């Protein structure tokens, strides 16, 4: 059940973890995400979730739901009550021990300088992938987020993603 509204679902495959954290039963959890399974339940349950780039966190010893599937990789990431807890978790995970224990993880430690920087960012974005149109509410949320980022001093640069038939 969703701790914010018992009549609603916590959402997604990491919904149980999100509900546990949102309900005060845990401070931190790890979920899996391909298409929103960390981020959507976090949003539904009033907490924070982070999906790192695939293979950034070790998957050693964890079985895949679809063996050999390499085109869309799952990612492991933290869920917590606040962004600072997500940051602390990522700092703990992106350490030399992880890189030594699993050589498939890129040896790139957590960048505290970048995380703590207030320097304006240059952010690439697209409004449409060329296949599916966003729903009106998603398009509105995107425009509002874009406006907030620009008002905060960030530069947003539009781009068109490659069409998949050109990639493969």
- Mean pLDDT in consecutive groups of 10 residues from the start of the chain, 168 residues: 94 94 97 94 97 92 73 90 98 92 93 94 92 92 97 97 72
Concatenated DSSP letters of the chain: -BTTBTTS---STTHHHHHHHHTTS-SEEEEEESSSTTHHHHHHTT-EE--PPTTSS--TT---SSTT--SS--EEEEEESSHHHHHHHHHHHSSHHHHHH-TTS------HHHHH--SPPEEEE-S--SS-PPPHHHHHHHHHHHHHHHHTT-EEEE--PPPHHHH-
To which residue do tokens 């979730």 refer? 49
Whether 57 and 20 map to the same domain: the answer is yes
Domain boundary (84, 99, 118) is at 118
Question: Do 108 and 141 reside in the same domain of the chain?
Answer: no
pLDDT of 63 reads: 74
Same domain assignment for residues 99 and 127: no
Question: Do residues 74 and 58 share a domain?
Answer: yes
The predicted structure's pLDDT at residue 67: 72
Residues 38 and 85 in one domain: yes
Expressed as residue numbers, the domain containing 51 is: 1-118
| 111's tokens | 């960048």
What is the DSSP track for 87-125?
HHHHHHHSSHHHHHH-TTS------HHHHH--SPPEEEE
Residue 168 pLDDT: 62
Q: Are residues 108 and 149 in the same domain?
A: no
Question: Tokens in use for 29?
Answer: 């959890």
103 and 42 share a domain?
yes
Can you give the pLDDT at residue 105?
A: 93
Residue 68 pLDDT: 72
- Structure tokens belonging to residue 154: 């960030």
pLDDT of residue 167: 64
């Amino acid at each position: 059940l969703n701790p914010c509204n018992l009549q609603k679902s916590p959402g997604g495959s990491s919904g149980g973890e999100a509900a546990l954290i949102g309900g005060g039963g845990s401070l931190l959890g790890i979920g899996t995400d391909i298409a929103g399974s960390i981020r959507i339940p976090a949003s539904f349950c009033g907490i924070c979730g982070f999906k790192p780039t695939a293979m950034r966190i070790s998957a050693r010893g964890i079985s895949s739901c679809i063996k050999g599937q390499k085109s869309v990789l799952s990612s492991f990431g933290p869920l917590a009550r606040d962004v600072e807890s997500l940051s602390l978790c990522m700092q703990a995970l992106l350490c030399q021990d992880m890189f030594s224990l699993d050589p498939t993880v890129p040896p790139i430690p957590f960048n505290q300088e970048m995380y703590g920087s207030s320097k304006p960012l240059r952010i690439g974005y697209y409004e449409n992938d060329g296949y599916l149109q966003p729903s009106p509410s998603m398009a509105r949320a995107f425009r509002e987020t874009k406006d907030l980022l620009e008002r905060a001093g960030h530069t947003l640069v539009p781009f068109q993603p490659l069409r998949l038939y050109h990639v493969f």
